[in-house]
């Protein structure tokens, strides 16, 4: 149990409690529990500027905050221990905020914000085997999940609407998983995983003018997947995907884009046995792959439609392979390889 973390979190909660109690026309609920198998449930309905501040230290504790039909509501929760759970649900006009801090093992945090706009959800977890889940519906929401010094953690964020942003960061440890699902226009999804190995990052976007970026630094056997879907009638124009993998080896990247005017950029630096697969269907797509160092790397690009452009650059190393397949009108392919024993295959129909 991280006592120092709990003490710091409790001090922060006290400061927040004082601030919210100083507001006028607002309700306040606070609870502190020490021990095992404790539970706290708070329900606040209606009004403006309602707040809940809770802290628990121990194991198998649970905190639940339900704030409905309100405006500018706040929930701040801190837990330290093992197998604890937090559930925060906020509905109403908007400008709600939820902050969850957990330290320990096998903890779970769930934040749900819907029927509102301009909400903020922040989840910070430290330890092993933790889970974080954020759901936001309507527009201009922000979700942030940070999992540090951790292994076997899972983070997922789902957003519906436009102008939403999700940022997931996982550092250290092994076998962490992060996923983002966004439906709507002008959304941004960001995943950063640093250190360790066997990490997986996945972003799926439906809409126009979306941006997806996955960065994985160090480690081996990491996987990054981006799906951007759409059609010419409803979804899909001007989306972009960027994936960067630095160091390590045996890493895998997949990018799937349906629609028109997509761009995909992938960079892999160092290591061996890295793989990039890009699939683009529609018109005027652009795909760029840059692989530097290592050996036995593979870049495989498939484009169908009109006016597509593919570029593969492989520098250093040996026995690298670039495969480009284009089916359509006015396609352009460019491959540059530096090293020895490399292979390039281009097929255009």
Instruction: From 280, 309, 313, select the one nearest 297 (Cα to Cα).
Output: 313
Q: Which of these, 244, 249, 235, lies nearest to 288 by C-alpha position?
A: 244
Per-residue pLDDT of the chain (349 residues; tens, 9 = 90+): 455 544 544 444 444 444 344 343 578 999 999 999 999 999 999 888 899 999 999 999 999 999 998 889 999 999 999 999 999 999 987 889 999 999 999 999 999 998 888 999 999 999 999 999 999 998 999 999 999 987 899 999 999 999 999 999 999 888 999 999 999 989 999 999 998 789 999 999 998 889 999 999 987 889 999 999 865 444 447 889 999 999 878 899 999 998 878 899 999 997 789 999 999 998 888 999 999 987 899 999 999 988 899 999 998 878 999 999 999 888 999 999 998 899 999 999 8
User: Which residues 6+ apart lie within 8 Å of 116 measured at CB?
Assistant: 90, 91, 92, 93, 94, 95, 96, 137, 138
H/E run at residue 11: helix 3-21
How far is the CA of 4 from the CAs of 54, 57, 105, 131, in angstroms? 17, 11, 16, 22
Question: Which residues face 39 on adjacent strands?
Answer: 62
The pLDDT, as a whole number, for residue 78 is 96
- For the chain, give every domain's residue range: 13-166, 173-348
pLDDT of residue 284: 85
Q: What is the pLDDT of residue 4?
A: 52
This prediction has a pTM of: 0.92
pLDDT reported for residue 195: 82
Indicate if the alpha-carbon torsion angle 13, 19, 22, 28 is positive or negative.
Answer: negative
Are residues 293 and 306 in contact, defined by beta-carbon separation less than 8 angstroms?
no
pLDDT for the residue numbered 220: 85
Question: In 3-state terms, what secondary structure has residue 12?
Answer: helix
């Amino acid at each position: 149990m991280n006592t120092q973390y709990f003490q710091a979190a409790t001090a922060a909660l006290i400061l927040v409690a004082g601030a919210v109690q100083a507001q006028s026309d607002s309700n306040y609920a606070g609870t502190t529990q020490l021990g095992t198998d404790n539970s706290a449930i708070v329900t606040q309905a209606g009004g403006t500027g309602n707040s809940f501040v809770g802290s628990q230290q121990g194991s198998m504790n649970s905190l639940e905050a339900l704030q409905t039909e309100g405006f500018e509501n706040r929930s701040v929760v801190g837990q330290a221990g093992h197998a604890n759970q937090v559930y925060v649900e906020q509905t109403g006009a908007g400008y709600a905020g939820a902050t969850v801090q957990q330290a320990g093992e096998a903890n779970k945090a769930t934040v749900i914000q819907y029927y509102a706009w301009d909400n903020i959800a922040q989840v910070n977890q430290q330890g092993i085997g933790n889970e974080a889940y954020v759901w936001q519906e309507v527009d201009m929401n922000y979700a942030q999940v940070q999992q540090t010094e951790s292994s076997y953690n899972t983070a997922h964020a789902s957003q519906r609407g436009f102008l939403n942003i999700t940022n997931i960061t996982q550092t250290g440890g092994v076998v962490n998983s992060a996923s983002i699902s966004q439906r709507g226009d002008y959304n941004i999804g960001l995943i950063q995983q640093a250190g360790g190995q066997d990490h997986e990052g996945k972003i799926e976007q439906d809409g126009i003018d979306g941006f997806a970026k996955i960065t994985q630094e160090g480690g081996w056997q990491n996987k990054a997947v981006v799906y951007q879907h759409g059609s010419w009638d409803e979804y899909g124009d001007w989306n972009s995907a960027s994936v960067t993998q630095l160091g390590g080896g045996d890493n895998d990247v997949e990018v799937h884009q349906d629609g028109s005017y997509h761009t995909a950029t992938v960079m892999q630096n160092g290591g061996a046995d890295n793989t990039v697969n890009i699939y683009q269907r529609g018109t005027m797509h652009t795909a760029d792959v840059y692989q530097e160092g290592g050996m036995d790397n593979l870049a495989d690009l498939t484009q169908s439609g009109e006016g597509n452009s593919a570029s593969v650059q492989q520098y250093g190393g040996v026995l690298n392979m670039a495969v480009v397949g284009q089916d359509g009108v006015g396609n352009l392919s460019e491959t540059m390889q530096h090293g020895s024993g490399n292979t390039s295959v281009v097929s255009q129909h």
